[in-house]
Amino acid sequence: MSQWFVDRVAIVTGGASGIGLAVASKLLSLGVQLAVVDRDGSALQGAFGGVDKVLKIEADVSDRIQVERYVSTCLDRFGRIDMFHNNAGLLGPRAPLLDFTDEDYHSLFDVNVLGSLLGLQAVAKAMKASSGGSIVNTASAVGLRSVADHGLYGATKATVLRITQQAAAELGQFNIRVNAVAPGSVDTPALRSSLKGTSEDGGEVDRRVSRQLRKRPLGLPITADDVADLVLWLLGPASSKITGSINVIDGGVLT
Ligand code: NAD
């Protein structure tokens, strides 16, 4: 199965950190021709600066022009796109629904919903023009149930789940599969910054992260690598009959 990945072409958005970085690193180790997109240019350089064969594209996924540019840059370099991990997203800010501002709304929906939709549109058009492909959207378990102070974030991820199923229904005829992963809490820079709140005490942040990660029947933390293994399975040939699926990876919280 790992031979299947050699020389295929993938784009990972939000690939400079956390879950996207874990996916990009695994794809690279399997011999995939890889484009990594992130709006944080220095994090991109920090993660892949020494790896010439990785196409590093600094772009904001919520801007249509920049999305079209990252897709065309990838096509110019590699000629096609076989796999797309549509992953860039924001967790914060945390607040009860009654306290969210218009600014909070736009920052979350622009990146998590519009960014995801623009990427899906541009990449699926390129896949449709070749022989198809596989797309994995990063949603969240919070898109499936309410979690205190995460109402707006949950609404963005519920929308990503709905878009995933709609896209799967529309694009199957073009041999394009579209699936979603819905992780529970994963220890990434985004989770740490969201749990940090106003605390400047590193030990306190560690304790909050570890409390958050223990809240699950399996009692085991989910790592970015765990999510990456699931994403690779969905991108690759082992899941060739699966589309429109929502894959929760949360250690059993949603049971
Ligand atoms: P992270 O902050 O570690 O990584 C996200 C990356 O996305 C960063 O490098 C950031 O620069 C980039 N990014 C953010 N906005 C962008 C934009 N507009 N354009 C381009 N790049 C942008 O976060 P993470 O925890 O790895 O999150 C990745 C995805 O996983 C997100 O969609 C998040 O909602 C989702 N998720 C995370 C968790 C968790 O607990 N960490 C749980 C469920 C879902």
pLDDT in tens, 132-163: 999 999 999 999 999 999 999 999 999 999 99
Q: What are phi and psi for residue 180, nearest 5 degrees? A: -130, 145
Mean pLDDT of the chain: 94
Active site (annotated) includes residue 105: no
**C-beta of 150 in contact with ligand 1 (< 6 A):** no
**C-beta of 91 in contact with ligand 1 (< 6 A):** yes
Contact criterion met (CB below 8 Å) for 13 and 56 = no
Q: Which residues contact 90 (CB under 8 A, 6 or more apart)?
A: 107, 108, 111, 112, 153, 190
Output helix, strand, coil percentages for the chain, rounded to the nearest 5: 50, 15, 30
- pLDDT(197) > 80: no
pLDDT band for 198, please (50, 70, 90 cuts): low
Provide the percentage of residues in the chain whose pLDDT is more than 90.
Answer: 82
pLDDT in tens, 212-238: 777 778 888 899 999 999 999 999 999
Contact criterion met (CB below 8 Å) for 149 and 104 = no
Dihedral over Cα of 235, 239, 240, 242: its sign: negative
* Ligand 1 geometric centre to CA of 111 (Å): 10
* Ligand 1 geometric centre to CA of 38 (Å): 10
* Ligand 1 geometric centre to CA of 16 (Å): 9
- Ligand 1 atom with minimal separation from the 142 CA: 43
**C-beta of 17 in contact with ligand 1 (< 6 A):** yes
**C-beta of 21 in contact with ligand 1 (< 6 A):** no
**C-beta of 205 in contact with ligand 1 (< 6 A):** no
* Ligand 1 geometric centre to CA of 173 (Å): 30
Return d(Cα 73, Cα 200) in angstroms, integer.
41
pLDDT in tens, 69-116: 999 999 999 999 999 999 999 997 889 999 999 999 999 999 999 999
Catalytic residue among 20, 27, 153, 247: 153
Specify the pTM.
0.96
